Amino acid sequence: MSLRPFFATRRGWTLSLLATLACGIAPIAHAQALAWPALPIKLVSPWPAGGSNDTFSRLLATRLTTSLGQPVVVDNRPGATGTLGVSQVARAPADGYTLVMGSSPTHATAPSIYPQLSYNPIRDFAPVTLVGSSANVLVVHPSLPVRSVSELITLARSQPGKLSYASAGNGSSQHLSAELFNAMAGVQMLHVPYKGAAPAITDIVAGHVSLGFHNMVDVLPHVKAGTLRLIAVTSAKRSKALPDAPTIAESGVPGYQAEVWFGVFAPAQTPRPIVDRLHREFTQALAEPEVRGKFDAAGLEVVGSGPEAFARYLQEEVTKWSDIVRRADVKPN
């Protein structure tokens, strides 16, 4: 007796069973997504309370609590330069009830700076929306004989390694903004790291360090007082908060862009209907005039991009900063 019909029939039963199971799983996942949210949602802010990440998280959480009909609770999980809280979300269930307000330090630069990072920013997360981005500003001590980016480049090239810049620490946005400038402008400036932005700015104001690439909120009071000179902004386009300040890209370094950005992520494998719903809810909140006004006041340009566009942007950011970290041999503090 031939066994071929038996095995053929058995194979057919197996394929039929798998197809039946697959058809059964899809409606279950879809039903779960339709029922979402049935529980409170946790939005992790991986930085201490009171900072910009925490402030933006709470502002959006308040709006989503109303629109979703479930509490959206901000959970501060600071530590390890923001990577501690992010790693916890990477391991959370992919059910839409745990999210994280990620940022360029945790998702774009950390993978290159920390070789033992416990998560992969691309593989372990489902991008929901890019909330917005904020430019740093290039400021110099008034004694430095430069008033434009081109003049700074000329001076830096004439004195390789002698002009110094202050940052908030190794791997900070200020540090990487300057190293990107070094690489793209073909100059060599000396890095002077500090433990935070405040002491770094204090030493620029005092003239101990020549310049820096710092958050506009931190340096604008000094610019208005005349103790620092504003040269340009690091964003791709001019800032709404400083419309008269040119970008570095338009001032002699084409393509230069260095921004601190914030975005919402869910764990990887979160059902797409839930990701889409989250995207709609966050972008609707970002469109509210009161919310947008508060972001504008903080110097954050609202974006609200879709999941696919955010994913592409994240990949570009990871690639760009990994190259800069390698070139500058950036090490964590």
Domain 39-133+259-328: CATH architecture, name and number where available:
3-Layer(aba) Sandwich (3.40)
Q: What is the residue whose two structure tokens read 């998560």?
A: 119
The residue type at 212: G
CATH number for the segment(s) 135-251: 3.40.190.10
pLDDT of 123 > 50? The answer is: yes
pLDDT above 90 as % of the chain: 80
Positive or negative, the Cα torsion across 89, 129, 301, 312?
positive
Mean pLDDT, rounded, for 308-316: 98
Strands (E) located in 80-124? 98-103
Nearest to 233 by CA among 299, 313, 143, 161: 299
Residues, the chain: 333
Average pLDDT over the chain reads: 91
pLDDT tens digit string along 212-226? 999 888 899 999 999
pTM flag (> 0.75): yes
Structure confidence at residue 266 (pLDDT): 98
Kindly indicate the confidence band of residue 81, based on its pLDDT and cuts at 50, 70 and 90. confident
pLDDT tens digit string along 141-154? 999 999 999 999 99
pLDDT of 8 > 50? The answer is: no
**Virtual torsion, Cα 301, 189, 315, 308, nearest 10 deg:** 10
Domain boundaries, the chain: 39-133+259-328, 135-251
Backbone angles phi, psi at 138, to 5 degrees: -85, 115
- DSSP H stretches of helix in the chain: 4-35, 52-68, 83-90, 110-113, 149-158, 173-185, 197-205, 216-225, 272-287, 289-297, 307-328
Extract the tokens encoding 89: 């979300």
pLDDT above 70 as % of the chain: 90
**Virtual torsion, Cα 303, 308, 311, 313, nearest 10 deg:** -50
pLDDT tens digit string along 262-272? 999 999 999 99
Q: How far is CA 308 from the centre of its chain?
A: 16
Same fold, 39-133+259-328 and 135-251: yes
